[in-house]
């Protein structure tokens, strides 16, 4: 007799436990080797988890919505239908007379239930199997659509929700751009800001309707943020503030926003171009010395609706044109909301932007992310009465920025020089951001 345990896999290097988002298979269902049986929430994204064995899903130990530590058994897979009852007896603490295999060690958990090679759209991909997003699979079941008859429009031929809807005549199937979100949903950060010189309009995080006196457990993502923030406390930091006039940037934004350009992309581009002159601000500390990163990857903090924070990364932001950068940003936010980002899309940042300007704040200090040397806090832009160069008074749109730096490698003069050059670029030559 062969009854196999399905273990909670380690989907990232920082993951200590996982949460079951949904079971794709139900007890008693036939399971093929390499077929997705469960969707697990790691500390940053949702991932399909496949069975290493062929057989039947005999018993679910950890139900949807529950969590389990890495390496813990979350289900049993029996090789034959006759062994299903025996698997249930095992789960209930009963004895099984027949010989069963010893539990697989935690280190081998990935061999029992392991995500396949991750594709660009956040799903798992193997050439020999049907690749379907969890949302598309659920929708197909509701609409009674045979997935085997569909051709996926997502990267690597992945079937997404739009393909299922198109099959029943609801919508036209989407075309596949170079980077495309698999599950478009309203983004956390919209394409257009509510006021000039704000990176983007971010909807306020949804606060759950908790009952007064109730203790609400932290989500997996919130726990990951907690660990990162505690780690940040060990780093000696300092802050430097600067006031930047944004009239020129606002004018440029009004000219090109109809082409899909976002203020987030403009500011990320401005920071990235300035970092070319200040590589130390793009560096990070290590026990071996200063790590000068080969690329300028700008992380942008995004508050998730269900709690927690994630930082999608605009890769090589200094080298990408503003129009592609804006499209990339929209794709990243869409996939962040759908929890379909790949690890390199949220943990490869070398410099972070944090914006609360859409809430009207005057100034704030941002907490330095682990593994980075700097983070820039951006507050609201406001009309201010200022003395002009001709000795008169005028009204200018101004915003306050505040940089937090790792004082082990970056000193006050370095940060001040960076902010000075950033202000000069935004105030005197914003048109260069479109080149």
Catalytic pick among 125, 239, 278, 407: 407
SS3 content of the chain, % helix, strand, coil (to 5): 30, 25, 45
237 vs 322: CA distance, rounded Å: 32
Contact indicator for 102, 112 with CB cutoff of 8 Å: no
As a whole number of angstroms, the distance between CA 47 and CA 344 comes to 14
DSSP 8-state symbol, 159: B
Q: CA torsion, points 24, 29, 31, 35, in degrees to nearest 10?
A: -20
Longest dimension (CA), the chain: 95
CA 342, 347, 352: angle at the middle one, nearest 5? 130
Q: Order of strands across the sheet with 55-60?
A: 3-7, 73-78, 55-60, 30-31
What's the CA gap between 251 and 103, in Å, rounded? Answer: 64
Residue 280 CA neighbour count, 13 Å, CB half: 15
How many Cβ atoms from other residues are within 10 Å of residue 241's Cβ? 15
Tokens 């940089």 found at: 403
Q: Decide if 160 contacts 154 (C-beta within 8 A).
A: yes
Does 125 qualify as catalytic in the annotation? no
Structure-derived torsion over alpha carbons of residues 330, 10, 19, 182, reported in degrees to the nearest 10: 30
- Contacts of residue 267, defined as CB under 8 A and 6 or more positions apart, other chains included, come to 199, 353, 355, 378
How far apart (Å, rounded) are the C-alpha atoms in residues 294 and 309? 26
Contact 353, 268 (CB under 8 A): yes
User: What region, left, alpha or beta, does residue 306 occupy, with left being phi > 0 and alpha being psi -120 to 50 degrees?
Assistant: alpha
Residue 352 CA to residue 375 CA, distance in Å, equals 5
Catalytic residues: 407
């Amino acid at each position: 007799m062969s009854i196999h345990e399905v273990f909670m896999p380690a989907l990232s290097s920082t993951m200590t436990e996982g949460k079951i988002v949904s079971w794709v298979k139900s007890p008693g269902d036939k399971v093929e080797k390499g077929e997705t049986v469960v969707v697990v929430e790691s500390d940053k994204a949702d991932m399909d988890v496949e069975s290493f064995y062929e057989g039947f899903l005999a018993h679910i130990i950890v139900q949807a919505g529950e969590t389990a530590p890495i390496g813990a058994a979350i289900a049993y897979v029996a090789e034959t239908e006759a062994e299903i009852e025996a698997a249930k007896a095992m789960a209930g603490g009963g004895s099984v007379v027949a010989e069963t295999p010893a539990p697989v060690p935690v280190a081998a958990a990935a061999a029992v239930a392991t995500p396949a090679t991750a594709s660009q759209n956040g799903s798992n991909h193997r050439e020999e199997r049907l690749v379907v997003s969890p949302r598309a699979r659920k929708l197909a079941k509701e609409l009674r659509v045979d997935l085997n008859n569909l051709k996926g429009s997502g990267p690597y031929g992945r079937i997404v929700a739009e393909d299922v809807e198109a099959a029943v005549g609801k919508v036209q199937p989407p075309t596949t751009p170079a980077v495309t979100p698999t599950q478009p949903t309203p983004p956390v950060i919209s394409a257009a800001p509510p006021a000039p010189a704000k990176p983007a309009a971010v909807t306020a995080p949804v606060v759950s309707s908790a009952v007064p006196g109730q203790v609400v457990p932290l989500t997996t993502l919130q726990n990951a943020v907690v660990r990162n923030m505690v780690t940040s406390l060990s780093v000696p930091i300092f802050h430097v503030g600067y006031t930047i006039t944004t009239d020129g940037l606002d004018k440029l934004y009004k000219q090109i926003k109809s082409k899909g350009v976002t203020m987030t992309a403009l500011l990320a581009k401005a920071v990235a171009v300035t970092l070319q002159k200040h590589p130390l601000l793009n560096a990070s500390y290590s026990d071996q010395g200063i790590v000068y990163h080969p690329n300028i990857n700008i992380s942008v903090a995004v508050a998730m609706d269900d709690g927690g924070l994630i930082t999608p990364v605009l890769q090589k932001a200094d080298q990408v044109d503003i129009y592609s950068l804006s499209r990339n940003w929209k794709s990243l936010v869409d996939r962040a909301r759908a929890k379909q980002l790949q690890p390199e899309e949220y943990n490869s940042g070398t410099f972070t932007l944090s914006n609360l300007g859409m809430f009207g704040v005057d100034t704030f200090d941002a907490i330095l992310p682990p593994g980075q040397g700097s983070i820039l806090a951006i507050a609201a832009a406001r009309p201010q009465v200022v003395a002009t160069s001709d000795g008169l008074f005028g009204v200018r749109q101004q915003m306050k920025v505040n940089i937090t730096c790792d004082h082990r490698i970056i000193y006050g003069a370095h940060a001040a020089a960076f902010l000075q050059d950033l202000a000069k670029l935004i105030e005197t030559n914003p048109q260069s951001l479109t080149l």
